[in-house]
Amino acid sequence: MKKIIVAVAAAFLAAGAAQAAYKDGSYTGEGQGRESKIQVQVDVKGGKVAAVKVVKHGETEGIFQAAADEMLPKIVEKNGLEGVDDVAGATASSKGIREAVKSALEQAK
């Protein structure tokens, strides 16, 4: 029984370590929105996503802002893209944000 508990605990630790395995720094990524490229900056501190901000975009402001306002805090909260959904009515902008953040986080691995 102890071996099972130790194995399960080790698996949880490994999963947590893999999720927080980013190198500290600021990383830029680009993704394609509906009307333009979307560029983001992802800041990593202590191995985790500390901030995500939009550097530039040429999307329709109101639609894009809805996606950014909903997605960016969730990306920080979830330490990445897993579990962060696209925003209804702003699908192309959401996908562009997702692609840009993914590109930035690839550099941080």
User: What one-character-per-residue DSSP string does 72-109 give?
Assistant: HHHHHHTTSSTTPPPPTT-HHHHHHHHHHHHHHHHHT-
**pLDDT of 3 higher than 60:** no
User: Cα separation of 27 and 29, whole Å?
Assistant: 7
Domains of the chain: 22-107 (3.90.1010.20)
pLDDT at 21: 84
pLDDT at 1: 52
At position 69, the amino acid (one-letter code) is D
Q: pLDDT tens-digit profile of 31-84? A: 999 999 999 999 999 999 999 999 999 999 999 999 999 999 999 999 999 999
The more confident residue out of 76 and 14 is: 76
Residue 44: enclosing H or E segment and its boundaries? Answer: strand 37-45
pLDDT at 11: 46
Give Cα 43 distance to the centre of its chain. Answer: 10
Task: Report the predicted TM-score, pTM, of the whole model to 2 decimal places.
Answer: 0.82
State the sign of the Cα–Cα–Cα–Cα dihedral 44, 46, 48, 49.
Answer: negative
pLDDT at 12: 45
pLDDT at 109: 95
| Residue among 98, 83, 17, 93 at smallest CA distance from 106 | 98
